[in-house]
Amino acid sequence: MKTERYTPARPDIPELRWINRLAYLMDSQFRLPGTRFRFGLDPLINLFPIAGDMAGFLVSAGLMLAMARKGASNKLVVLMSLNILLDATIGAIPVIGQIFDFFFKANNRNIRLMNEHYLENKHQGSGKGIIIWTLIILFLILALLIYLLWKVGAWLTGLIF
């Protein structure tokens, strides 16, 4: 599996240096000896159920808010929020979430998005389209889950009667 590469954010903006340092600490600070695989404190603190997940989420959300205050577009904030939400949601699943946290580096992804925004002028606009598509996908997933639960319920009822 490909690891997310760390790219520092806008070194010419001094206020963003602490964001770089904290994102690096959370996602890429340590290297597995003999490999190129890097990980940070995020997957380690997420080993503590609930409290670790909340701490990682709060740090990521704080980084996102700080980037938003430095001029990130609404679309960029929506994309960063989706990264954080995905990291927090899947990261909260026991065992699978802990493994996922070692590979999905939301803070590094958000730094890369911010660089694309500032340096390449990408991710401009309101982000309403992304929100609408996300809601449509979530609705379809919910409908699929309800359908599957209905089928499992019918199957179980058939076994009992």
pLDDT at 131: 76
Q: Is the pLDDT score of 150 beyond 90?
A: yes
The 10s digit of each residue's pLDDT in 119-128 is 777 777 676 7
What phi and psi values does residue 31 have, to the nearest 5 degrees?
-125, 135
CB 40 within 8 A of CB 25: yes
- DSSP strands (E only) in the chain: 30-31, 38-39
Better-predicted residue by pLDDT, 134 or 10: 134
Q: What share of the chain is helix, strand, coil (3-state, %, to 5)?
A: 70, 0, 30
Measure Cα distances from 105 to 62, 130, 140 in Å: 15, 21, 26
Q: Which two tokens stand for residue 69?
A: 């205050």
pTM for this model (two decimals): 0.72
What phi and psi values does residue 129 have, to the nearest 5 degrees?
-60, -40
- pLDDT averaged over the chain? 84
| Spatial CB neighbours of 13, under 8 Å, sequence gap ≥ 6 | 70
How confident is residue 133, by pLDDT bands cut at 50, 70 and 90?
Answer: confident
Q: Mutual orientation of helices 51-69 and 17-27 as an angle, nearest 10°?
A: 150
Q: Is the pLDDT score of 147 beyond 90?
A: yes
Pick from 6-15, 22-31, 76-85: least confident = 6-15
What is the chain's length?
161
